[in-house]
Every structure is written in C-alpha cells, then in structure tokens.
Amino acid sequence: MKLGLEVFLEKYTKDYSTERIGLLTNLTGVNHQLESTIDLFYSHQHLNLTALFGPEHGLRGEVQEGKLIDSSVDPYTGVPIHSLYNKDKKPNVEMLKDVDVVFCDLQDIGTRYYTFIYSMANTMQICGQEEKKVVVLDRPNPINGIDVEGNLVQDAFRSFVGKFPIPVRHGMTIGELARLFKHEFNIACDLEVIPMEGWNREQYFDQTDLYWVSPTPNTTTIDMCMLYPGTCLIEGTNISEGRGTTKPFEVIGAPFIDGRKLAEALKSLSLPGVQFRPAVFKPMYQKFAGEVCEGIQVHISNKDTLSAFDIGISILETIYRLYPEQMTFIQAGEQNRYFIDLLAGTDQLRKQIIQGDTTDFREQLPTAVQQFMAMRENYLLYPTNDMA
C-alpha cells in the first residue's frame, strides 16, 4: 500500500512548487521507511515549507494530555512551529500569514474523543476564512473502516473532545472525515484529500505493512486503540484509566476497588470479544500517582466481535454499582460541567449510570449508528474486500 504522503510525493509535488506550505503533523507523519514528513517536505526541491503546526501533545509527541503548548521554532529545520493546542485550540490569522496552503498528515486512532481531528477541522475553518487551501494526506483508520459504535454528540455538549455529531467509533479515515466535516458541518474551505493506495476498509493497522508510531504518550498498542472508544469514558470519573502505567486504557482501577470482585462481576456479563483479569498497578503520574490501585485489565480475545463502547459503559455501571459512595464524576475544568458528559456527548449516560439502568441510552445507539452510516456514505474513499 501507499500512504497519502507517498502518493503526493510521487505524483503531485510540482503542483505546489510556487506555494508557501504549512504542515500540520507530528511524530506520526512518516513514510514506510519512517522518514519524517517534515524532513521530506523541508528537503524537497519543489516544496517550500514555511510553517509547522502541532496538535495536542506537541509536534514531537512529548507533552502530556491537556497541557497547553507554546509556539516555538523547530530546532532541526528552523521553521516556526505554531501550537494548535493553545488556549483557543485553533490557529489564528497571524499563523497563516506566511502560508498559501496547509497540508495535514496526522495518524488518527478512529475515536471521536481524539483531538487531532478537531485540530484539522479548526484549521480547515480558518483556512476557509483566509482563502487558504487545505490538503489532507490520508492514513489508515487503525481499528478498521467498517465498524461504527456509539451515540451522536448533542449540540449542548459539543467540545474539543466532541466538536461534531459523529459516533464514538466512526469507522472513517482522517481524509474521509475532512470531506464529511466540510460538507456536513459547513466548513467552507478549498479542500483536497490525497487518498492512500491499496488500503481497504476491513484492515486493522497490524494488517498493513506500516510501522506503528504511537501518536501520543498514552496511545500505546493497537489493543489500546481498540478499547479506547469505551475505556476513555473512565477519564470522566475519579477511577484511574491506567495513565501513568504501561497499559493505559487497558488497566482500570482505584485504591478502594477489590480487583477480584470487579473482575468476577464483569466476567458474569459475558461481554463478547474480551476477558477481564484482576490487576494491581501503581500509576507513576495522573490519578493516584504513587498509590497502589486494584482493578482489572481488559484483554481482547476477539477484536472483530468486541464492542468497546458497550464495554466502557458496562465497566462504569459495574464500578458504580459496587462502589456508589467512592466513585465520583469529575468536573471539566472551568466549564462547570461533568467531563464524562463531554466525552459521552450527553448527560443521559451519567444520569442513567447513577440510576442503575442504562437500557434507554443503549437502545438509542443502533438508530444513531444507522443515521451516521447513511450520512458518511458519500465521503468514503476506500473499498471493502468484496468491492475491491
């Protein structure tokens, strides 16, 4: 297969030889030989790289989640780096003054909460206002381009972890999302997507010939990416989602939890595609840093049958049922809202967990998925095996 980056460098560089180029990327912007998109653009005879744009976690991926990042200068190329994880979470007009076109080369992980796609969307919006073109160099959805899970974000709960009404697991590539954002959510920009060659929708990342480069400090393995649509919900509580361990979003717990009791309760649900094991861990940072936590590790037994969002809801429900006095929902910074409501795109899930029955919320999910599947159809770029 060929990445959008590789297709562009092979076929289209001369089309941009007179343009001043901005590049929104990070450490995941590499080709099959692990050569950096930044270096490939900077050294290319036909490309004039004048600005770099970095998403959450920074251009090199060294910054922890939620930490605002200052703009700087790239020490390797001398090109200015404009942070898009600033207080406004978006570029401004000043950042674009030396740019004619912005390229985007980022590895998304297929989940609505992941902020890279909104850095791209915000860049598309400001580029549209300033009449600058956007070119997205496409990359695979690592958890395949078929399966879709979850609800749609309600208008009152839009945020930087849920800017648009898309499902939690959207089953689209970043290039396909750019097309959908432009046409369905009224982003009036000049957009071009450079598709990959040789990727089909059934493929998980580990079925490609690409090396996995972890996009952020806590985005570790493909198993983590598979579970993230569900276990990220734990972030909205005082329960550790495993940040500060070697298995973030795979181990979950707290000092007050009995790991054996929790594992047995979750095993009794017979959730498809996963197994639960009692686990003991000590986070090095974030929640309960330096404290011994008990809980569970989620092990994937069949990635084709699991429903991560359902697993996440089940874990939350079970912990709240077992520890209603100790488990709490945390506030979202200065917004005076519950963070889980922003992640879930609604307050309905939190309220039903407290009530002890999420049936009503779960029953709405198939309709939301069907609604989105119909919407996304016009923006898909790749076949399934039976269509190839």
HSE, side-chain direction, 13 A CA sphere, residue 253? 31
Alpha-carbon separation of residue 130 from 21, 209, 216, 238, 257 (angstroms): 14, 38, 30, 42, 53
Helices and strands in the chain, H and E counts:
10, 10
pLDDT, residue 324, reads 98
| Amino acid symbol at 343 | L
Residue 90 near residue 122, CB atoms below 8 Å: yes
Query: Tell me, which fold does domain 4-216+373-379 have in CATH?
Result: Rossmann fold (3.40.50)
CATH annotation of 222-346 = 3.90.1150.140
Give me the residue spans of the domains in the chain.
4-216+373-379, 222-346
Q: What is the pLDDT of residue 334?
A: 62
Beta bridge partners of 23: 52, 103
Distances (CA, A) of 53 to 2, 34, 308, 368: 24, 20, 31, 34
User: In DSSP terms, which residues pair with 105 in a beta bridge?
Assistant: 25
pTM reported for the whole predicted model: 0.95
Decide if 4-216+373-379 and 222-346 have a common fold: no
Beta strand spans in the chain (E): 20-25, 48-54, 72-73, 80-83, 101-105, 133-137, 191-194, 251-254, 274-281, 293-300
pLDDT in tens, the chain (388 residues): 999 999 999 999 999 999 999 999 999 999 999 999 999 999 999 999 999 999 988 888 777 777 888 888 999 999 999 999 988 889 999 999 999 999 999 999 999 999 999 999 999 999 999 999 999 999 999 999 999 999 999 999 999 999 999 999 999 999 999 999 999 999 999 999 999 999 999 999 999 999 999 999 899 999 999 999 999 999 999 999 999 999 999 999 999 999 999 999 999 999 999 999 999 999 999 999 999 999 999 999 999 999 999 999 999 999 999 999 999 999 987 667 999 999 999 999 999 999 999 999 999 999 999 999 999 999 999 988 754 4
Structure confidence at residue 388 (pLDDT): 43
